[in-house]
Amino acid sequence: MTRIRRPEYTGANRCLPCTAVNLALAAALAGVVALVSPPVATVVAAVAFASIYVRGYLVPGTPELTRRYLPDRVLAWFGKVDAPGASGAVDFDVVSFLDRSGVVVDDGDDVVLASNFEHSFETAAFALDSEAAMTAVASDLLAVDPDRVSFVASGTSWRVLVDGSVLGQWESRAAFVADLAAHRALSEWTGDWVSVPDAARGRTLSAVRACLEICPLCAGDIRLGTETVRSCCREYEVVAATCVDCDARLFETDARTVAAAE
């Protein structure tokens, strides 16, 4: 069973476009077989659906096929393309909120964190040096009891679970610590933080994270660059911020989103 089950393509890792393509292929296959023998078609359909359920795909190589043939527009339906404002769009202007509350200041041709805010952010971040400290702030941010929160580090991601279900995924522990520290710092900085709509809170925290100049874990410098990333069914350019000392990925966003915003 362990050889058949493909955890990298199932569970939280299940890729919806790949699954949809496979379900369509399975239905087409069963349909063709049904022309010859309906009972055999039933068996074919059962085996095919079981395969998709357990392995995440039916036809070997479909993550590859999906990447090549599904247009971005279709992938966007499954949340695979981060079109600007497409996901969970809420009419809340993150940048103007940060600007209005003095969290960011205009530094000529760039927006940077105000130095007092940066200081309180760093104090909060360096205090988050244990899982217990992270759990305490996470439970405050998520408004759930600390004993319901847990974390799973897996290679290139940091997942946060509530009652055992994945609630969200960050680029790394450093990225999550940054968001917790930003939540702490914003809570102290402005009374308006509590009235930011829930759906815009994550974006606000990420915006602060994108402005960081030092790593929230080790205080190393952060390098900004572009690179090509392959997910299971597509390949794309990302703008990534990485700590030069501990190599933690602080931020990653689709390069086209950045280009569109400029």
Tokens found for residue 91:
């009419």
Looking at the Cβ atoms of 93 and 131, the one nearer to Zn ion is 131
* Amino acid residing at 254: D
Q: What SS3 class is residue 212?
A: coil
What is the separation, in whole angstroms, between the first and last Cα of the chain? 50
SS3 content of the chain, % helix, strand, coil (to 5): 50, 20, 30
Among 246, 252, 257, 258, binds Zn ion (CB under 5 A): 246
197-216 binders of Zn ion (CB under 5 A): 215
Looking at the Cβ atoms of 17 and 118, the one nearer to Zn ion is 118
Phi-psi region of 71 (alpha: psi -120 to 50; beta: other; left: phi over 0): beta
Q: Supply the minimum distance, in Å, between the C-beta of residue 243 and Zn ion.
A: 3
Q: Is 241 in the site for Zn ion (CB under 5 A)?
A: no
* Contact track, Zn ion, 61-80, x by CB under 5 A: --------------------
Looking at the Cβ atoms of 59 and 127, the one nearer to Zn ion is 127
23 membership: H or E segment, kind and range: helix 16-36
Please answer whether residues 103 and 186 qualify as being in contact, where contact means their C-beta atoms are separated by less than 8 angstroms: yes
Q: Is 122 in the site for Zn ion (CB under 5 A)?
A: no
- From the list 105, 111, 94, 118, the residue with the least C-alpha distance to 196 is 94
Looking at the Cβ atoms of 44 and 180, the one nearer to Zn ion is 180
Among 25, 54, 218, 258, binds Zn ion (CB under 5 A): 218
Q: Taking contact as CB under 5 A, which single stretch among the options 36-44, 128-136, 231-239, 245-253 is the one that binds Zn ion?
A: 245-253
Looking at the Cβ atoms of 202 and 220, the one nearer to Zn ion is 220
Q: Supply the minimum distance, in Å, between the C-beta of residue 15 and Zn ion.
A: 30
| Concatenated DSSP letters of 60-104 | TTHHHHHHHHS-HHHHHHTT-S--TTTSS--S--HHHHHHHTTSE
Residues binding Zn ion (CB under 5 A): 215, 217-218, 220, 243, 245-246, 248
